[in-house]
Amino acid sequence: MPLPRQVFIAVIGAGGVGKCFLSQLQHLASNLSRSPSAPTYLSLILLSTSKKSIYHADYKSLNNWDTELQASATSPLPLPQLVEYLVKAPGKVVLVDNTSNQEIADTYPTFLKKGISIVTPNKKAFSSTYQLWTDIFSAAANGTGGGGYVFHESSVGAGLPVISTLKELVETGDEVRKIEGVFSGTMSFLFNSFQPVNGGGGKFSAEVKIAKEKGFTEPDPRDDLNGLDVARKLTILARLAGLKVESPTSFPVQSLIPKELESCSSGDEFLSRLPEFDGQMDELKAAAEKEGKVVRFVGSVDVPKGEVKVGLEKFDKSHPIAALKGSDNIIAFYTKRYGDNPLIIQGAGAGGEVTAMGVTGDLVKILSLLQ
């Protein structure tokens, strides 16, 4: 009969996704500790934000992390010291990176080589240079290395099983020909409101303002409208499909920021001036309407041609991409096995709870692999 085991968890990031993950971790830990066959005890040994941190030199579990973090005056450990602290833990360690921090992403190969596993929604680790991608999977046990495991399901579709589905298609020998979809909850909401299938819709600038008020955009909406978030997700999927995409700026990405507003000093200034350019978007809407179509902001990967692109496309009103509701994402995989009817994954692609679910699901995968 397997013996009980203890696994140590270190968490960086306690914002929206981080708080939801910590709540889900509590639920998971409770269930695993009661397993009749072989209980697993999860110990949260470190919790860090950009400003403060809590951990104990003797790796004692943090049972009241919320109160302790608020009261803490301890600065976060510099990354080299964090690596050393986790390496010396008396058991297997999983690092949960709930940030979008490039410096932490750059340190993944070091963590992995030292046997520390990683779960994360951090897109930057898997969409920056192709060299970093190679270094990560050369070090990981589920790559070609012998270090820790790394999973990042939530780096593309939050809790949607996008990466795991693509990996299974590839690993079971299917031929992925094209990946296409709406990969941004923000862009989905914007264009579903700007040009609904049944007609109407408001001015583009007004819809951007509503999206910001509802919390669908970044504090500065230009961080969504520049298309880079979608480009990062496409970079990850293209690489998983076998393309050596160098970076998210190495293929065409259409920005929806008028050139004249790129230099605005703030998001508020940008929003106040955006109505000046509504005419351009109205023209696009009218042209699509004439063809019986709607405009949507999509990303696509053409695998045989090795082409990746992000931008506005027109779709028939009967197309699944046109018929999306709210801020849902939709991803279609066109493969040899699935033929003309693609395998479609659809649902909420953003939000704290569903993103944290993707992270927690990856943690469960790692726990099943750790010996």
**Residues with a known catalytic role:** 233
What is the spatial distance between Cα 261 and Cα 282, in angstroms, rounded to a whole number? 18
Q: Rounded distance, CA 166 to CA 286, Å?
A: 36
Tell me the C-alpha distance between 264 and 223, whole Å: 13
Is the alpha carbon torsion for 22, 28, 29, 30 positive or negative?
Answer: positive
**Tokens at 170, concatenated:** 């590839």
Q: What backbone phi and psi angles, to 5 degrees, belong to 84?
A: -60, -40
Structure tokens of 334? 């066109």
| Residue 100 identity | S
The tokens for 171 are 């690993």
What the block records as the tokens of 182 is 């709406």
Distance CA 273, CA 259 (A): 12
The CA–CA distances, whole Å, from 195 to 93, 217, 300 equal: 48, 18, 21
- Torsion sign, CA atoms 257, 259, 264, 270: negative
DSSP 253: B
Strand segments (E) across the chain: 5-12, 40-48, 53-55, 92-97, 117-119, 150-151, 176-182, 293-302, 307-316, 328-335, 343-348
> What is the C-alpha separation between 364 and 360, in angstroms, rounded?
6
Amino acid at position 104, single letter? I
∠ at Cα 245 (243, 248), nearest 5°? 140
Closest CA to 153 of 164, 142, 143: 164
Widest CA span in the chain: 70
